Amino acid sequence: MALKLNAIPFQSSKSLASAIPRAASLRSPKVLMASTLKEVDTVKKPLREAHVQVTHSMPPQKIEMFKALEDWAENNILVHLRPVEKCWQPQDFLPDPCSDGFYDQVKELRERAKEIPDDYFVVLVGDMITEEALPTYQTMLNTLDGVRDETGASLTSWAIWTRAWTAEENRHGDLLNKYLFLSGRDPGTENNPYLGFIYTSFQERATFISHGNTARLAKQHGDFKLAQICGSIASDEKRHETAYTKIVEKLFELDPEGTVQCFADMMRRKISMPAHLMYDGKDESLFEHYSSVAQRLGVYTARDYADILEHLVSHWKVGALTGLSSEGQKAQEFVCGLGPRIRKLEERAQSRAKQQPGKIAFSWMHNREVQL
Ligand SMILES: [Fe+2]
Ligand SMILES: [Fe+2]
């Protein structure tokens, strides 16, 4: 989830792919995108964004580079997957319906969950939605030229990674979903792998940070089981982050010019998290409201957004790149100088927010009001 981002209204397509290659601004009635793109009018459609799509922005000759990285991916990326027999399953953390003690265990779970305040649950539900978007993540990776799973059962390292990663993400959504269900409180990219992997590097670190923080807060609220649930998900996210940042590191090594330009391109659009399209049929600013609560609880803040950016800039040693074209140098300067700018904007937004604190009813909390 991302907080700093485009205040994006509801859009019918919920795919991550549509979230990636989009430059949207509510201020401008036009959407302008890189390279092959047209300018498109988005006027008078407050609830929908224009679907502007760039297809296949990576030059075809680079596809070969990804194919040549097969062995490298096997030795460097697949190692970040847990062997199947060591993977945890949602059931490991939840009451076992086959056991005699099931009802008592659910009762205990509910007793613990009772102690957790509404604002925490607002954030946890939003986190769950982020994870549950994952079936579309597989689709997103399968749009990327040079790395897609051609058959759905392809034995290339890229395809193996995509299937296994999606399975892990799916379990994150399942675990949070089942926990929330049992808690009794809840009835109810342009096909461009450069952009795709830069996006996932950023997003995996963001989910690592936010699940780590919900774990910390669950502990403070006295629910150690929930802390373990969020902590286990956070530790998966760390592995995912490591794998994706490693892929981009390799791209910087093989193609610093192309990679730094894509990095700048991605950051100019801002990284919107998949859940930014969430909609409950009532609140058109649902994601913004969820984000405000997450921000206030310190689960995921605009400061984290700047921290992640600066972490990636230093991890990929972007400042030290040499031999770049003038356009490449511009991209380099842009990403290296972006952190402090985000922080400044954030300080301003924070002080504005403090002046007008508000409450909002969340449908997923039975319309109870929660402080923003
Ligand atoms: Fe996840
Ligand atoms: Fe992940």
In a structure prediction context, what are the per-residue pLDDT tens digits for the chain, which is 372 residues long? 333 333 222 223 333 333 333 333 222 222 222 332 333 333 333 444 555 667 788 888 899 999 999 999 999 999 999 988 899 999 999 998 889 999 999 999 999 998 898 899 989 988 988 888 766 788 889 989 999 999 999 999 999 999 999 999 989 999 998 998 888 765 336 788 999 899 999 999 999 999 999 999 999 999 999 999 999 999 999 999 999 999 999 999 999 999 999 999 999 887 776 677 778 888 888 888 998 899 899 999 888 999 999 999 999 999 999 999 999 999 999 999 999 988 888 887 777 766 666 899 998 888 899 988
On whether the CB atoms of residues 263 and 330 are closer than 8 A, the answer is no
28 residue type, one letter: S
Residue 352 and residue 206 in one domain = yes
43 residue type, one letter: V
Cα–Cα distance, 161 to 156 (Å, whole number): 9
* CA terminus-to-terminus distance, the chain: 16
Cα–Cα distance, 135 to 147 (Å, whole number): 17
131 counts as catalytic: yes
**Dihedral pair phi/psi, residue 362, rounded to 5°:** -100, 125
**Residue 122 is assigned to a structural domain of this protein:** yes
- CA of residue 129 to ligand 2 center, whole Å: 13
Cα–Cα distance, 50 to 22 (Å, whole number): 9
User: Which of 183, 205, 221 marks a domain boundary?
Assistant: 183
**Residue 19 is assigned to a structural domain of this protein:** no
Tokens standing for residue 291: 């984000």
Tokens standing for residue 107: 């009762």
Other beta carbons within 10 angstroms of residue 169's beta carbon come to 24
This model's pTM is above 0.95: no
Residue 169 and residue 234 in one domain = no
Residue 229 and residue 317 in one domain = yes
Cα–Cα distance, 40 to 42 (Å, whole number): 6
Of the candidates 306, 371, 361, the residue with the CA atom closest to the CA atom of residue 337: 306
Q: Which ligand sits nearest to residue 211's alpha carbon? A: 1
For the chain, the domain total comes to 2
Domain span at 163: 62-183
**Residue 68 is assigned to a structural domain of this protein:** yes
- CA of residue 207 to ligand 1 center, whole Å: 7
| Largest distance between two CA atoms of the chain | 69
240 counts as catalytic: yes
190 counts as catalytic: no
Burial class (CB in 10 A: 0-12, 13-18, 19+), 166: buried
As annotated, the binding site includes: 131, 169, 172, 204, 237, 240
236 counts as catalytic: yes
